[in-house]
């Protein structure tokens, strides 16, 4: 969730912020820049009426819908609007999700319709997203805005389908934590990278290498592009990715019609970054990390903890976020079973972040 996440997901928790919908529109804008939207990239809009409506209920439903393929969300006064690729839509899965909704006093009805095929180019020009400032250390912004405050860590992104503009509470919590960790020369894993914000931040904080992955191909491509915007070529790439090449051409093939500016550069020498598509199974065979970051959701974190434990060095750190304060006890208990000791808990509104140390008490069994 990376905002991230999404990719991703995970890129689904920011239902309180209209930016999530604008990310969805931005992604379609990029499709339009290349060609008309292909049939397999068309979307359904599912309007979910919750009675009684609350932000908490909408957040829970968003998390559940993300697990069955939904990618972006927005709220009206009494409804949650959810967007899913037509190829991923399942009426049966939707009905089961509504049936399994855990808040007994909330009833849900929904209507599915084809998402309108609008002028997303105009939407992108008008919307973008406002710069996100985290404390006095970090600013995350897009290429549209020029009124960006100065900060020690300046991150430039173009969010596409992936979740993550840095606006969500969990992303802000992690960014603030990374700003105060010693990552000089360290190897970092960014699980569920989304737009790549946290991978970029790790490099800017001095990390020598980052391995980032996401299950969403859109997130992987977006992360690679955002790394390049921040002067970080990924392994196997030169100064510009294929996707970046495409977005620097107009429809008639002319160059530099929408050439994107670069973020201020202050990076360690020759950082190594690899971005992979897949789930946590891609960690097998990878170098063990000094720090693993996972901003996903509770269920995925619980399922992936065994692989996370195998992927972190003895004495290394792990940051988990993407869940509520009420989820903290179960995640702390599960992490302890895999040899992680809790160092710190941070929160922002109802959202939480946990910082762990691996094998701090010598009880690691991996």
Angle at 168 between CA 225 and CA 213, to 5 degrees: 40
Identify the pLDDT of residue 365: 43
Q: Contact, 208 vs 215, CB < 8 A? A: no
Q: Does 290 score more than 90 pLDDT?
A: yes
Least confident window among 63-67, 111-115, 311-315: 63-67
Radius of gyration, CA atoms only, the chain? 20
Give CA–CA dist 303/100, Å, rounded: 19
Residue-level pLDDT at 201: 93
Q: What predicted TM-score, i.e. pTM, was given to this entire model? A: 0.64
pLDDT of amino acid 117:
58
- pLDDT score for 270: 63
**pLDDT at 338 (0 to 100):** 95
Who has greater pLDDT, 333 or 38? 333
Which DSSP helix (H) or strand (E) runs through 59?
helix 55-66
User: How crowded is the C-beta side of 295, counted as CA atoms within 13 Å?
Assistant: 37
Q: Dihedral of CA 20/26/31/32: which sign?
A: positive
* Residues of the chain above pLDDT 90, percent: 42
Q: Summarize the confidence of residues 177-195 as an average pLDDT.
A: 94
Q: Quick one: residue 185, left, alpha or beta (phi over 0 = left, psi -120 to 50 = alpha)?
A: left
For the ranges 38-52, 275-289, 299-313, the lowest mean pLDDT is seen at 38-52
Distance CA 152, CA 172 (A): 15
Q: How confident is the model at residue 282 (pLDDT cuts 50, 70, 90)?
A: very high
Q: Which pLDDT value is given to residue 166?
A: 53
Place of tokens 């991230």: 4
What pLDDT shows up at residue 150? 83
Q: pLDDT category, 191, cuts 50, 70, 90?
A: very high
> Would you tell me how many other CB atoms lie within 10 Å of the CB of residue 262?
12
Mean pLDDT of 238-252: 35
- DSSP characters over 336-354: HHTTEEEEEEEEETTEEEE
Least confident of 31-35, 54-58, 204-208, 322-326: 31-35
Distance CA 337, CA 309 (A): 10
Quote the mean pLDDT of the chain: 76
Over the stretch 26-54, which tens digit does the pLDDT of each residue have? 343 333 333 334 444 578 999 999 999 99
Phi then psi for residue 84, to 5 deg, are -140, 145
Pick 236 or 41 by higher pLDDT: 41
What pLDDT does 15 receive?
A: 34
With pLDDT > 70 as the criterion, what percentage of the chain qualifies? 70
Checking if the pLDDT of 229 tops 50, the result is yes
What band does 130 get if pLDDT is binned at 50, 70 and 90? confident
Binned at pLDDT 50, 70 and 90, residue 194 comes out as: confident
- Tell me: the pLDDT tens digits for 9-23? 333 333 333 333 334
Following DSSP, what letter does each residue of 275-320 receive, concatenated? Answer: EEESSGGGGTTSPPEEEEEEES-HHHHHHHHHHHHHHEEEEEEEEE
Residue 134: pLDDT band (50, 70, 90) is confident
**Nearest Cα to 178, choosing from 135, 217, 213?**
135
**Predicted local distance difference test score (pLDDT) of residue 335:** 97
What is the per-residue pLDDT for 112? 95
The per-residue pLDDT for 298 is 86
Compute how many other C-beta atoms are within 10 angstroms of the C-beta atom of residue 305: 20
| Interior angle at CA 230, CA 227 and CA 234, nearest 5 | 30
* pLDDT at residue 132 in the model: 79
Q: Distance between CA 234 and CA 26 in Å, rounded?
A: 23
Strands (E), the chain: 43-51, 72-75, 79-85, 107-114, 132-134, 138-141, 153-156, 187-191, 209-214, 272-277, 289-295, 312-324, 340-348, 351-358
Which among 152, 156, 237, 224 has a CA at the least distance from the CA of 190? 224
16-20, 124-128, 180-184 — which one is most confidently predicted on average? 180-184
Burial class (CB in 10 A: 0-12, 13-18, 19+), 272: middle
Q: Which domains does the chain have, with CATH numbers?
A: 10-123 (3.30.70.100), 159-358 (3.40.50.150)
pLDDT at 7: 32
Q: In the prediction, which pLDDT does 354 show?
A: 97
pLDDT exceeds 50 at position 180: yes
Does the pLDDT of residue 243 top 60, yes or no? no
């Amino acid at each position: 969730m990376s905002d991230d996440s999404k990719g991703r997901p995970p890129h689904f928790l920011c239902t309180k912020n209209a930016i999530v919908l604008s990310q969805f529109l931005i992604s379609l804008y990029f499709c339009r820049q290349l060609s008309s939207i292909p049939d397999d990239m068309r979307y359904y809009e599912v309007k979910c009426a919750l009675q009684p409506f609350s932000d908490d209920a909408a957040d829970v439903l968003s998390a559940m819908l993300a697990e069955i393929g939904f990618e972006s969300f927005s709220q009206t006064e009494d409804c949650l609007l959810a967007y899913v690729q037509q190829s991923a839509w399942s009426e049966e899965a939707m009905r089961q999700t509504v049936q399994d909704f855990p808040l007994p006093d909330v009833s849900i009805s929904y209507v599915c319709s084809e998402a309108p095929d609008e002028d997303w180019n105009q939407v992108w020009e008008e919307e973008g997203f406002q710069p996100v400032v985290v404390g006095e250390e970090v600013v995350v912004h897009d290429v549209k805005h020029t009124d960006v405050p100065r900060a020690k860590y300046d991150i430039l992104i173009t969010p596409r389908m992936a979740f993550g503009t840095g606006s969500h509470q969990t992303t802000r919590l992690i960014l603030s934590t990374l700003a105060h960790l010693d990552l000089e020369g360290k190897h970092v894993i960014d699980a569920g990278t989304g737009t790549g914000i946290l991978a970029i931040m790790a490099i800017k904080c001095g990390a020598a290498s980052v391995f980032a992955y996401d299950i969403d191909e859109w997130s992987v491509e977006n992360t690679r592009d955002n790394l390049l915007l921040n002067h970080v070529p990924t392994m196997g790439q030169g100064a510009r990715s294929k996707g970046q090449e495409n977005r620097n051409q107009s429809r008639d093939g002319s160059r530099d019609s929408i050439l994107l500016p670069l973020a201020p550069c202050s990076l360690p020498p020759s950082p190594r970054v690899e971005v992979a598509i897949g789930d946590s199974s891609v960690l097998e065979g990878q170098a063990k990390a000094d720090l693993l970051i996972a901003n996903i959701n509770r269920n995925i974190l619980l399922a992936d903890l065994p692989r996370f434990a195998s992927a972190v060095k003895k004495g290394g750190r792990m940051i988990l976020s993407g869940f509520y304060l009420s989820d903290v006890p179960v995640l702390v208990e599960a992490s302890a079973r895999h040899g992680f000791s809790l160092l710190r808990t941070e929160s922002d509104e109802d959202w939480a972040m946990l910082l762990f140390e691996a094998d701090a008490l010598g009880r690691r069994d991996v």
